[in-house]
Chain A
């Protein structure tokens, strides 16, 4: 446990160092940029919680299948679908609970399809996931600009009605978007599932050692499918909460949704696939993203800075694995 915390902190420090040097080479005042990123990233706790919420869920969408040995790169598409399903139900029924459940079901159904194709037909999940991601992306664009657009504001979709929105809770002048505690509680539930239930135990055994799982009589196929369904549902819930608690609508370029599923992969890796670690890694990465946007405005640093830093962290995080492989070779 201590080793993991150490590894993660080291990789963050190292990637910051690399980012710092990069900024200097590009001719920026690196110290100033970093102070903007961190200060602005943390300046508005409410906004930080808001931004972290979908990331926590897409990180879970990656990590839970990942602990069973499946690479769920389809979090992006599952996220879109969850958002869409949620929007439609919220718009038509005005019921937030029903809308959330539908969002989860939509995401779960999509990933179940990917898992079944993998298990029954042997098609690599990465290939099908990427295809579904794009199919859903363009279908959604079409649907929003053709049927679901708001007649008064045609650059965005119809909105979630007031009574279906998930609002804020204000405690001592800090207002907490209610979607955030929902995400955190979901993460804790996932931790319990993975480490304190028979289902999670089986899934972990399948992920670590398929041979041992077969010996113990655990069915790897059902573990793969269940983990994918849970993952997809998490992504769907992420899309749902974003719509109900934050944006209330989907803009017709989908810029508010785009990339959230992929960012979740980074957050999942940084959290070492541990649901509790993921809460922290998602908050941390959201801080970088918010801070990066601020730095773009204030220091004219390219918006890709935050992305580069996150990418760097993920690369550096894999360094311990490389060291371990080299050590075994010797």
Chain B
């Protein structure tokens, strides 16, 4: 029997972007249904419409055999639809049980906190895992927070749970645990929609899969009947050609880091005694689940954040005490993980293209020579295929174009050492490939890159050597060829296998 039927769903956003074009979508009762597509394909938009969070421009929704038009999430929750968000909707500063109460009391009047506690205990019993009910949410690991979120939505006894890219924040081990839980939920008769852009996950967990591309439905299939390759072609519209990395022997040492300690914004040690060296023509990967000290390490290397202890030596020169601007002049470049940090979104493309090399564009008396800056901007636009004009504000560029600008601006300076963090996060396949091949080409020119990424495919595709960071320490470092995905996954999860 069909639980969800969405017919001819079209969504046009107020700014004129067409997110969905007449999409049909069906989910049968009791199945795990995958919703596969790239970033921007319209997966999340479709689900937010089902959940009542936004309204479709046209099209109809039938839930449990009845035509519905939800006024908001509280309305759809009453009908038995729940959503587990990618970024959880928990209040970090209050306890788990208080979060449960807050959630349940928002649409079920007259529920007492003791009643909530009883139901939560019952639920944990059935799922065979526990979460600390009295702990504050922000003190829990991300994997545990997700379990909290799952129990939370189960408290409302939903018929359907939508999971929005649930594995994006998890280690491989935590993902496996999640899949076990999903199967148990299915046995209890709960229908699940699983949003993802990872092909392996579709194959592993779903019964059926619907593929979206650029706001249109490509098709719905029984999962066992389609291969990963076929799914990939349907998702992207063409086959994926993995970028080829040539094996090369690294050159002389260009950077050396000794016993580096760095504190985070709260004053706690985030990087605890990291040491490594980097060679000419080498890409050193730093893998890890986000939030294990990567940001602090990158910032300390770039000079944006002060190192508590340790030394950073570049080209034989101690740069530990140099501020960021001076390091950039010495041939270091840094591409941060957030485009809102690396770019000034409310300035135009030309102004942004000189952000990290301002001094190269100055005339007498600190005057900016704008013609020089516009030449540079044009060069970046041309070499990195950016769609946008010199005078257009960067915030109006697409994510992919912003990232090309950010990466292009730094690479065009031909730095000796490039520190780059999550360079392809949130990009579509074409932009991802472009960025990755750009980085590889840069390496072919004999330059050195420190690549910080939580995407293991990216790490294996690009890096010569790989280090794993866990709770601020390197828990393993080795050559690409000597490491396996499984071992890396275990190290990232803190299991020293």
> Contacts A205-B355, A215-B304, A216-B355 hold; do A198 and B342 have CB atoms under 8 A apart?
no
Residues of B contacting A208 in the complex (Cβ-Cβ under 8 angstroms): 344-347
User: Quick one: given A196-B367, A204-B347, A217-B323, are A211 and B355 in contact (CB under 8 Å)?
Assistant: no
A206's closest neighbor in chain B, by CB?
B344
In residues 207-231 of chain A, which contact B (Cβ within 8 Å)?
208-209, 211-212, 214-218
Q: B341–A212 contact, CB under 8 A?
A: yes
Quick one: given A196-B367, A208-B347, are A217 and B303 in contact (CB under 8 Å)?
Answer: yes
What total count of A-B pairs have CB within 8 Å?
68
A212, B367: Cβ atoms under 8 Å?
Answer: no
Chain B residues whose CB sits within 8 angstroms of the CB of A204 once the complex forms: 347
Q: Which residues of B contact A198 (CB under 8 A)?
A: 358-359, 362, 366-368
The reply to whether the CB of B414 lies closer than 8 angstroms to some CB of chain A is no
Closest-CB distance, A52 to chain B (whole angstroms): 29
B489 to chain A, nearest CB (A): 31
Asked whether A209 lies within 8 Å of B340 as measured between CB atoms, the reply is yes
Contact partner of A217 among B304, B341, B370, CB < 8 A? Answer: B304
**In the complex, residue of chain B having the shortest beta-carbon distance to the beta carbon of A198:** B366
B20 to chain A, nearest CB (A): 16
Distance of A199 Cα from B358 Cα, bound (Å) = 10
Q: Which of A186-211 contact B (CB under 8 A)?
A: 196-199, 201-202, 204-205, 208-209, 211
Q: A212 to B368: give the CA distance in the assembly, Å.
A: 19
The answer to whether A327 has its CB under 8 Å from any CB of chain B is yes
Is A215 within 8 A of B342, CB to CB? yes
Q: Is the CB of B148 closer than 8 A to any CB of chain A?
A: no
Please provide the chain B residues from 262 to 303 with a CB less than 8 Å away from any CB of chain A in the complex: 302-303
- Is the beta-carbon distance between A214 and B344 smaller than 8 angstroms? no
A330 within 8 A of B: yes
B336 within 8 A of A: yes
- The CA-CA distance from A211 to B344 in the complex, in Å, is 9
Q: Could you say which residues of chain A place their CB within 8 Å of the CB of B326? A: 217
Q: Of all chain B residues, which has the CB nearest A214?
A: B304
A-side contacts of B338, CB under 8 Å:
211
Within 8 A of A (CB), among B335-376: 336, 338, 340-347, 351, 354-356, 358-359, 362, 365-368, 370
- Which B residues from 300 to 346 make CB contacts under 8 A with A? 302-304, 323-328, 334, 336, 338, 340-346
- Within 8 Å CB of B368, what residues of A? 196-198, 201
A197 to chain B, nearest CB (A): 5
Given contacts A196-B368, A198-B362, A201-B368, A215 and B345 within 8 Å (CB-CB): no
Contact of A209 among B14, B346, B356, B366 (CB under 8 A): B346
Contact residues of B between 365 and 424, Cβ < 8 Å to A: 365-368, 370
Contacting B355 at CB < 8 Å: which of A196, A199, A212, A330? A212
A215-B324, A216-B356, A217-B323 known; A197 vs B366 contact (CB < 8 Å)? yes
Q: Chain B nearest CB: distance from A307 CB in Å?
A: 32
Residue of B nearest to A202 (CB): B358
Q: How large is the interface on A (under 10, 10 to 19, 20 to 34, 35 or more residues)?
A: 10 to 19
- A216/B358 contact (C-beta < 8 A), A201-B351, A201-B368, A209-B345 known: yes
Q: How far is the CA of A204 from the CA of B15 in the complex (A)?
A: 28
Name the CB-closest residue of A to B302. A215
Asked whether, in the complex, the Cβ of A201 is within 8 Å of the Cβ of B358, the reply is: yes
Per the bound structure, the CA–CA distance linking A218 and B368 in Å amounts to 16
Q: Is the CB of B324 within 8 A of A217?
A: yes
Contact A199 B366 (CB under 8 A): yes
Which residues of the other chain, A, contact B327 by a CB distance below 8 angstroms? 217
User: Residue of A at shortest CB range from B13?
Assistant: A330
Residues of B within 8 A of A209 (CB): 340-341, 344-346
Contact of A216 among B14, B324, B366 (CB under 8 A): B324
Q: How far is the CB of A9 from chain B (nearest CB, A)?
A: 22
| A209 to B345 CA separation, bound complex (whole angstroms) | 8
Alpha-carbon distance A24/B359, docked complex (angstroms): 59
Q: A98-127: which have CB < 8 Å to B?
A: none
CB distance from B94 to the nearest CB of A (A): 25
* Distance (whole angstroms) from the CB of B425 to the closest CB of chain A: 17
Interface string of B4-20 (1 = CB under 8 A from A): 00000000001100000
Question: Is B336 a contact partner of A215 (Cβ separation < 8 A)?
Answer: yes
The smallest C-beta distance from B340 to any residue of chain A, in angstroms, reads 7
Q: Closest CB-CB distance, A201 to chain B, in whole Å?
A: 6
Cα of A216 to Cα of B359 in the assembled complex, Å: 12
A158 shortest CB reach to chain B, Å: 40
Chain B residue nearest to A209 in the complex (CB): B344
List A contacts of B365 (CB < 8 A).
197
Residue from the list A196, A197, A205, A218 in contact with B347, Cβ < 8 A = A205
Complex Cα–Cα for A293 and B163 (A) = 66
Residues of A near B345 (CB, < 8 A) are 208-209
Contact between chains at B366 and A211 (CB < 8 Å) = no
The one of A202, A214, A217 that contacts B328, using a Cβ cutoff of 8 Å: A217
Within the complex, the shortest CB–CB distance from A206 to chain B, in Å, comes to 10
A218 to B355, CA, bound (A): 10
Q: In the complex where A201-B358, A209-B340 touch, is A196 in contact with B325 (Cβ < 8 A)?
A: no
Measured CA separation A197–B365 after assembly (Å): 8
CB pair A212 B342 closer than 8 Å: yes
CB-CB contacts of A17-50 with B at 8 A, as 1s and 0s? 0000000000000000000000000000000000
7 pairs of A and B residues whose beta carbons are closest in the complex: A217-B325, A217-B324, A198-B366, A211-B341, A212-B344, A208-B346, A216-B355
Residues of B in contact with A (beta carbons under 8 Å apart): 14-15, 302-304, 323-328, 334, 336, 338, 340-347, 351, 354-356, 358-359, 362, 365-368, 370
Q: A212-B355, A327-B15 are in contact. List 4 more A-B contacts (CB 8 A).
A: A204-B347, A217-B325, A217-B328, A218-B325
27 contacting pairs across A/B (C-beta < 8 A):
A196-B367, A196-B368, A196-B370, A197-B367, A198-B358, A198-B366, A198-B367, A201-B354, A201-B358, A201-B368, A202-B358, A205-B355, A211-B338, A211-B341, A212-B340, A212-B344, A212-B355, A214-B304, A215-B334, A215-B342, A215-B356, A216-B356, A217-B324, A217-B325, A217-B327, A218-B325, A327-B14
Q: Which residues of A contact B (CB under 8 A)?
A: 196-199, 201-202, 204-205, 208-209, 211-212, 214-218, 327, 330
